[in-house]
Structure 1
Amino acid sequence: MKRFGTAWQWIMLPLTALYGLAIWCRNLAWQTGWLKPEKVPVTVISVGNLTAGGTGKTPVTAWLAGILIREGFTVGLVSRGYGRSTRGFVLVSDGRSVLVTADQGGDEPVELARSLPGLLVAVSEKRLIAANHLCAHFKPDVLIMDDGFQHRALHRDMDIVVQDYPSWIGTHWLLPSGPFREPVSGLNRAHWLVWTRTAPGEWPVFRRTEPVHQALFAQEPATLIEWSTGNQWPVSSLPFRRVAAIAGIGDPDQFFLSLQKSRLPVVVTRAFPDHEPYPQPVKSDVVQWMLKAGCEALIMTAKDAVKWSAVDLPAGITGLMVLSRVVPDPSLARLSGEVIQRVRPS
């Protein structure tokens, strides 16, 4: 996660002031009706955040989509598809198969499409275009708008904001002095605030005048899957003695810490920028790095794994991705219950 020191904050203060003014004017235009969101004929649930960088938004989106699919709904996901090489509209999944690569559709949309059979996924810089396409061609019951809190052109029936607690602590400077995309007062638009990266059952200190429902979302590594064979191992019985771990996500340190807490035999770690595309020279460098450390396997997140394949590793080296489980919490049951009720009114 990017850190913002005091010197940087003051150096960037003029740009921060201009950015804050632009955000204030934009929000005012939506609040006064000068700008109006457009509706689609299905329920729209937005999952977004207040800060830039990794807050755990994608795992919350996957958890929510999985619940709705298991309830029997046809679920669509619309996303910008950050980090892809393409532009405009791309259909990532028709609910039966994944139609594009991570490079074409974005790593997070492709990851979600692969991990959730039946999920419709479309990407576009304009979420409304993606939403209209899914509604016209697939008739979903509900759309989830990924990273949609600031994307207000598409009407939503429910706003869920995901916030990691470490970013919340301290001052709430706006970009570029700090990590916040908009002032904390933006939470007045939210229906739910989902806290991530807290200890299970530990509620953050949170004070504000407007009421907002809150939930605790925590995950822990549960299963490791081998790319080439599909073999699975519980984290407690991995048959390797020396393992390397890489991560190209918003907060790689949090991922490495979770592996350490699970007592996996990780001896070396390497962090990459969020949405790292892993071109072939980088992959080759990673292989040489892990071989030098005497490692037998390479562990990464599911988001990273969509950009790797078994042919990228030499014989005798196993590629693994981590599947995590959501730690149950009563607040998550309340959140999922409200989402289901909005999709299926009584």
Structure 2
Amino acid sequence: MSNQPAGLAPALQRIWQRRGAAAWLLLPISLLFGLLAGMRRWLYRNGWLKAARLPVPVLVVGNIFVGGTGKTPLTIWLAQQLHHAGYRPGVLSRGYGAHVDVPRLVTADSLPEEVGDEPLLIASHAGCPMAVGRNRAAAGAALLRAHPEVDLLLLDDGLQHYALARDLEIMLFDGRGAGNGWMLPAGPLREPLSRRRDVTVINGAASAPGVAPDAFRMSLKGDMAVQLAQPGRRIALAELAGQRPAPRIAAAAGIGNPERYFGMLEAAGLRFSRLPLPDHYAFHDNPFAGVDADVILITEKDAVKCRHSEPLRNDPRLWFVPVEAVIDVALADTIVEKLRGFPTDRHPGLPHLQTPAGL
């Protein structure tokens, strides 16, 4: 298998980290992109485009940097912390890569191709109701009808989904920060760095280029590998790194920023060959068939899909590494304090939005 990086090309990432000649050449297109994005925000802000309002507060977790920054672990952490604070949260998602033209509730029996890989991961760890759909407002209405006890909705990866009104916004960065600070395609930003937000979080770094120093810090902890074929078998990464003779290890990641996963494994003392895969890789084929390794470490997000492939779920070489967000509890306190100003039941009943029969 090729070891060429998947997802966003490294050359493009290098362009986005500085204002070099290539970035300057792309800047006129970025200015047009920024103009169109700003016009869209203005139309929603001034009521020319209507945003649906749900009867419970909506908290959005998202990013303006293209690619993965760690939104899924942060969403899981927030759902758990808000539950501990007395809320009964639900989670909404687009369900990227799935066929969800109409809202769908996520259950233990849902398939990745039906609801997406990240929603299955969130639902299994957050322990709260979840719904997916292209129309997030309709998905929220469906979830609230099915679970009227829900009094708060978390919208995963929804900063640019202005069709659903929101009350609080959390913007997440990683160590790449804002890159060169320019919008697509000259830079990595979907929206300008000046875009308002209520809370800023940095994942995996003490500081990041272009990000205010008062941002909350987040890190991802993963110190154990679980065998996919036999989930009862677990091994500490430090123990795996110390085995003699040393096993041949490969690491694969179908996430937005594979290098962050690889860096975590290296920090645990592991040495391995890298197998980056495209984000949301579907595993319709077996990318590990020709891999010469005793152990293949995959992400838990990839394990969600590998479980539904007989050759993959029975491959004893496959082990996944669960990760969890480590964040100062002060972030949860800040969110709870901000939420106190947003009452529920702000409108009598739910909006009349498209929902599937039975929800």
Aligned to 1:227: 228
Aligned to 1:311: 310
Residue 72 of structure 1 and its aligned partner are, at CA, apart by 5.0
- Cα distance change of structure 1 residues 297 and 207 upon mapping to structure 2, 3 Å threshold: closer
Deviates more, 1:309-318 or 1:121-130: 309-318
Aligned residue runs from structure 1 range 194-343, under 5 A: 194-198=201-205, 202-204=206-208, 214-231=215-232, 232-238=234-240, 241-264=247-270, 266-280=271-285, 283=286, 285-289=287-291, 292=292, 295-309=293-307, 311-313=310-312, 317-328=316-327, 332-342=328-338
1:24 aligns with 2:20: no
Aligned to 2:95: 81
Q: Distance in 2 between matches of 1:135 and 1:60?
A: 22
Q: Distance in 1 between matches of 2:313 and 2:101?
A: 34
Q: Distance in 1 between matches of 2:201 and 2:33?
A: 26
Q: Which ranges in structure 1 are unaligned for 5 or more consecutive residues? A: none
SS in 2 for 1:306: helix
- Cα distance change of structure 1 residues 86 and 66 upon mapping to structure 2, 3 Å threshold: same
Aligned to 2:159: 149
The TM-score normalised by the length of structure 2 is 0.81
Aligned to 2:353: none
Q: Distance in 2 between matches of 1:214 and 1:314?
A: 40
Deviates more, 1:4-13 or 1:216-225: 4-13
SS in 1 for 2:42: helix
Residue 176 of structure 1 and its aligned partner are, at CA, apart by 2.0
Deviates more, 1:238-247 or 1:219-228: 238-247
Residue 30 of structure 1 and its aligned partner are, at CA, apart by 2.7
Q: Distance in 2 between matches of 1:308 and 1:255?
A: 18
Q: Which gives a bigger RCO, structure 1 or 2 (Cα 8 Å, sep 6+)?
A: 2
- Cα distance change of structure 1 residues 315 and 213 upon mapping to structure 2, 3 Å threshold: closer
Q: Distance in 2 between matches of 1:108 and 1:303?
A: 6
Aligned to 2:71: 57
1:220·1:324 contact (CA, 8 Å) conserved in 2?
yes
Deviations 1:23-73 (A, max 9, x none): 111122233333343221212110011111011111211111122234453
2:57·2:152 contact (CA, 8 Å) conserved in 1?
yes
Q: Distance in 2 between matches of 1:235 and 1:178?
A: 36
Task: Supply the AA of the counterpart residue of 2:105.
Answer: L
Equivalent of 2:198, from 173, 183, 191? 191
Deviations 1:301-339 (A, max 9, x none): 1111111027324977332111224345xxx32210132
The TM-score normalised by the length of structure 1 is 0.84
Q: How many residues align?
A: 321
Deviations 1:64-87 (A, max 9, x none): 112223445332111111112443
Q: Distance in 1 between matches of 2:315 and 2:165?
A: 51
Equivalent of 2:188, from 161, 176, 179? 179
SS in 1 for 2:139: helix
Q: Distance in 2 between matches of 1:131 and 1:236?
A: 42
2:175·2:207 contact (CA, 8 Å) conserved in 1?
no
Equivalent of 1:47, from 56, 61, 71? 61
Task: Supply the AA of the counterpart residue of 2:152.
Answer: V
Q: Distance in 2 between matches of 1:46 and 1:314?
A: 34
Deviations 1:107-147 (A, max 9, x none): 1111212233x321111111101111111220212110011
Q: Distance in 1 between matches of 2:315 and 2:306?
A: 16
- Cα distance change of structure 1 residues 342 and 277 upon mapping to structure 2, 3 Å threshold: same
Q: Distance in 1 between matches of 2:313 and 2:96?
A: 30
Residue 286 of structure 1 and its aligned partner are, at CA, apart by 1.4
1:122 aligns with 2:120: no
Q: State, as a whole percentage, how many aligned pairs show the same letter.
A: 31
Q: Distance in 1 between matches of 2:320 and 2:314?
A: 18
Residue 205 of structure 1 and its aligned partner are, at CA, apart by 6.1
Task: Supply the AA of the counterpart residue of 2:75.
Answer: T
RMSD of aligned Cα (Å):
2.6
Q: Which ranges in structure 2 are unaligned for 5 or more consecutive residues? A: 1-7, 344-359
Residue 262 of structure 1 and its aligned partner are, at CA, apart by 0.5
- Cα distance change of structure 1 residues 39 and 313 upon mapping to structure 2, 3 Å threshold: closer
Q: Distance in 2 between matches of 1:268 and 1:35?
A: 49
2:91·2:128 contact (CA, 8 Å) conserved in 1?
yes
Q: Distance in 1 between matches of 2:186 and 2:208?
A: 24
- Cα distance change of structure 1 residues 99 and 207 upon mapping to structure 2, 3 Å threshold: closer
